[in-house]
């Protein structure tokens, strides 16, 4: 039985770190669909670079780090744990 694969790439839409809406964050990804119920999605090299830049920018100050956590992390307990530590 042959399995057909469809590869889809998503375009990047830059999101400023200051106070973006969560829905604005779109890092470059590739999705591979190898069946009706199976798929794999991963960041591209460009997506990894964008994520590294976002984290680097967010870690410049405690206020920027806290803003980043509030905007991009949904788990309140995890946010509280991260905020208890200073950005490195």
What are the counts of helices (DSSP H) followed by strands (DSSP E) for the chain? Answer: 3, 3
**Closest to 13 in 3D by CA, of 54, 41, 42, 65:** 54
Predicted pLDDT of residue 87:
62
**Residue 24: φ, ψ to 5°:** -80, -20
| Structure confidence at residue 30 (pLDDT) | 80
Domain ranges in the chain are: 6-83
In the chain (88 residues long), the average pLDDT of successive 10-residue segments reads: 42 42 64 79 88 88 89 90 79
What's the pLDDT score for residue 88? 64
Q: What is the pTM of this model?
A: 0.54
């Amino acid at each position: 039985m042959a399995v057909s694969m469809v590869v889809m790439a998503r375009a990047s839409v830059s999101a400023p770190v200051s106070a973006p809406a969560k829905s604005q964050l779109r890092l470059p990804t590739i999705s591979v669909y190898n069946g009706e119920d199976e798929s794999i999605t991963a960041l591209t090299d460009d997506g990894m670079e964008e994520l590294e830049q976002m984290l680097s920018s967010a870690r410049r100050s405690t206020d920027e780090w806290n803003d980043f956590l509030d905007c991009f992390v949904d788990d309140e307990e995890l946010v509280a744990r991260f905020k208890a530590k200073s950005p490195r």
